């Protein structure tokens, strides 16, 4: 990157201050994580049961989701290996401890370059937590439970920080690691960084095409080495992702699979028409306010080039989001969109993901820098605002505060059901659970036939997942009027090998349950020769 970008006013490294800043950031992330997202969070059962099955295929054998494709293979290979010796809960706790330490280091590395301070990054983190707790655009988050994207964001922030220092080799290593842990987050981050570096160079006074070519020629060997490092460190994540995209679609309607993923299952993340109007307004306000503050700050800021770099990161992430809006914008049905097949494919790549975290991050930086441009009183004010936002984040119930979304009595009864399965049944079961069941594999350690949460990502798996949900609905409607006899239950075993049925409202069933409480009843299904294993 241009020498003007390297010549910022970052203070000389002080190990004591650096350690204090890391401890403060780390404590903030961990406290928020464990207070607001109890173990397991909403996504930890989804990720860690998959990781455990990856290392022990006999665990919950026959579970449809666990035996599907492995899109986050590096996460399963690294974090998942802990499940060979530790419980799922212990693995979640340790992965949070490690993951948020990496995130704190990455956060400090990036924001220390921008703010020329060891301490402002802490206030920025508090503001960011408050802003993202109040609302988000596409359901994206960075700090909460633990999954592969937390590690990816940690490495991405490290890559941004190294980009500002113009350390190309370490920058590309961190970009590669970000891609390996989460290809979607990593690739969007790499593209944003590349665009921001290019725009930053163009914005310098001494920019010229001749100077750029001359500089590129001098650094040719460094760039070749750094690109080689990028490829080397990203391949562990890229290979499974490419295999997933290149999976044979023989006999599968790809458009149907894309519709199931983009509109039906993940519409709250991928379909811009599903995002609430107030979310668009909230993010538009943050972006406009940030740009206004940015102009004021730029007149006073010494390391303006680093600050511009963040602006370009945000604007490029907004371009990605605009691409998603163009791809998904419509007035009628999805099938009525011109070029709907291509547009559905484009929406699969989470184009709103980066903007969802970068806009509140940029707003937080601008607020902190704006108030620090004035006197001591204003500095105290922004620290007060940051503290208030942290309090809001800790008090305001976040999305993961009750990951099951069950009322207290229902959750207690559900845990009873899981405990009964774990202690009173053999391990080679296939259980028909309610489609909105939560963490059954985590607590019961038994295979499930299908759940709405645990959806595969390959085309064949998506179509089969939807087919299983439709099968259960059709079976329920077919027998609803006269009730469900033992013979009608055995159809589930014959067709798919289901051994147990867990229900709440399915009535009447003309068979005695093997377990029941106030909310749930469990029925054992007579074993017959299954049509599908």
pLDDT per residue as tens digits for the range 171-195:
999 999 999 999 999 999 999 999 9
133: nearest Cα among 320, 400, 464, 383: 400
Q: How far apart are CA 339 and CA 336, in angstroms?
A: 9
- Block residue for tokens 């985590």: 442
- The b/e string for 65-77 (b: 16+ C-beta within 10 A; e otherwise) is bbbbbbbbbbbbb
Q: How far apart are CA 496 and CA 489, in angstroms?
A: 12
521 φ/ψ angles, rounded to the nearest 5 degrees = -130, 140
Strand 430-432 and strand 500-503: pairing?
parallel
Helix (H) or strand (E) holding 516: strand 515-516
pLDDT of residue 4: 43
Give the helix ranges, DSSP H, for 7-147.
15-36, 44-55, 73-78, 88-115, 120-134
Return per-residue pLDDT of the chain as tens, 533 residues. Answer: 444 444 445 667 788 999 999 999 999 999 999 998 889 998 999 999 999 999 999 999 999 999 999 989 999 999 999 999 999 999 999 999 999 999 999 999 999 999 989 999 999 999 999 999 999 999 999 998 999 999 999 999 999 999 999 999 999 999 999 999 999 999 999 999 999 998 888 766 566 666 666 666 677 888 899 999 999 999 999 998 888 876 666 778 889 999 999 999 999 999 999 999 999 999 999 999 999 999 988 877 666 788 899 999 999 999 999 999 999 999 999 999 999 999 999 999 999 999 999 999 999 999 999 998 887 888 999 999 999 999 999 987 655 568 888 999 999 999 999 999 999 999 999 999 998 899 999 999 999 999 999 999 999 999 999 999 999 989 888 877 778 888 889 999 999 999 999 998 777 888 999 999 999 999 999 887 655 54
Q: How far apart are CA 218 and CA 181, in angstroms?
A: 33
Helices (H) and strands (E) in the chain, counts: 22, 5
Question: For the sheet containing 500-503, what is the strand order?
Answer: 447-448, 430-432, 500-503, 521-524, 515-516
- The encoded tokens of residue 94 equal 């340790």
Residue 57: Cβ within 10 Å count: 11
Q: How far apart are CA 386 and CA 393, in angstroms?
A: 11
pLDDT of residue 373: 82
- The encoded tokens of residue 382 equal 């922004």
Q: How far apart are CA 474 and CA 479, in angstroms?
A: 9
The set of residues, in sequence order, having a beta carbon less than 8 Å from that of 219 and lying 6+ positions away, is 168
8 A C-beta contact, residue 66 and residue 50: yes
């Amino acid at each position: 990157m241009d020498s003007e970008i390297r010549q910022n006013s970052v203070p000389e490294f002080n190990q004591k201050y650096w350690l204090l800043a890391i401890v403060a950031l780390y404590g903030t992330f961990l406290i928020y994580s464990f207070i607001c997202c109890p173990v397991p969070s909403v996504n930890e059962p989804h990720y860690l049961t998959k990781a455990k099955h990856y290392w022990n295929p006999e665990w919950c054998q026959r579970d449809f989701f666990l035996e599907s494709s492995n899109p986050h293979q590096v996460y399963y290979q690294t974090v998942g290996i802990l499940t060979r010796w530790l419980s799922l809960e212990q693995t979640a706790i340790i992965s949070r401890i490690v993951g948020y330490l990496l995130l704190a280091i990455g956060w400090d590395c990036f924001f220390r370059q921008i703010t020329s301070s060891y301490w402002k990054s802490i206030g920025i983190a508090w503001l960011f937590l408050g802003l993202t707790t109040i609302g988000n655009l596409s359901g994206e988050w960075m700090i909460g439970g633990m999954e592969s994207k937390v590690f990816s964001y940690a490495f991405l922030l490290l890559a941004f920080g190294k980009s500002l220092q113009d350390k190309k080799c370490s920058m590309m290593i961190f970009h590669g690691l970000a891609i390996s842990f989460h290809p979607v987050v990593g690739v969007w981050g790499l593209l944003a960084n590349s665009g921001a570096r290019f725009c930053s160079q163009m914005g310098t006074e001494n920019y010229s095409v001749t100077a750029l070519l001359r500089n590129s020629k001098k650094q040719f060997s460094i760039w070749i080495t750094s690109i080689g490092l990028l490829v080397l460190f990203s391949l562990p994540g890229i290979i499974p992702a490419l295999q997933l995209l290149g999976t044979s679609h023989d006999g599968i309607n790809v458009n149907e699979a894309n519709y199931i993923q983009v509109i039906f299952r993940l519409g709250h993340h991928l379909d811009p028409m599903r995002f609430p109007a107030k979310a668009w307004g909230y993010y538009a306000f943050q972006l406009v306010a940030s740009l206004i503050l940015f102009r004021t700050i730029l007149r006073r800021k010494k390391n303006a080039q680093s600050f511009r770099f963040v602006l370009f990161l945000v604007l490029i992430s907004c371009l990605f989001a605009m691409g998603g809006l163009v791809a998904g914008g419509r007035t009628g049905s999805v099938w009525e969109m011109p070029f709907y097949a291509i547009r559905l494919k484009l929406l699969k790549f989470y184009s709103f993901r980066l903007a969802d975290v970068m806009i509140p991050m940029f707003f937080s930086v601008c607020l902190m820098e704006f108030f620090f441009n004035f006197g001591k009183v204003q500095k105290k004010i922004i620290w007060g605002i940051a503290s208030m936002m942290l309090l809001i984040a800790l008090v305001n119930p976040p999305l993961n505060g009750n990951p099951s979304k069950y009322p207290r009595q229902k959750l207690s009864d559900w845990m009873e059901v899981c405990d009964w399965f774990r202690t009173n049944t053999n391990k080679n079961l296939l259980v028909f659970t309610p489609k909105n069941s939560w963490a059954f594999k985590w607590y019961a350690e038994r295979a499930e036939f299908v759940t709405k949460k645990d959806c595969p990502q390959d085309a064949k798996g998506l179509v089969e997942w939807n087919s299983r949900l439709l099968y259960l609905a059709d079976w329920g409607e077919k027998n609803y009027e006269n009730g469900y006899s033992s013979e009608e239950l055995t159809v589930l075993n014959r067709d798919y090998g289901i051994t147990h049925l867990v229900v709440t409202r399915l009535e009447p069933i003309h068979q005695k349950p093997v377990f029941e409480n106030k909310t749930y009843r469990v029925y054992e299904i007579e074993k017959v020769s299954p049509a599908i294993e």
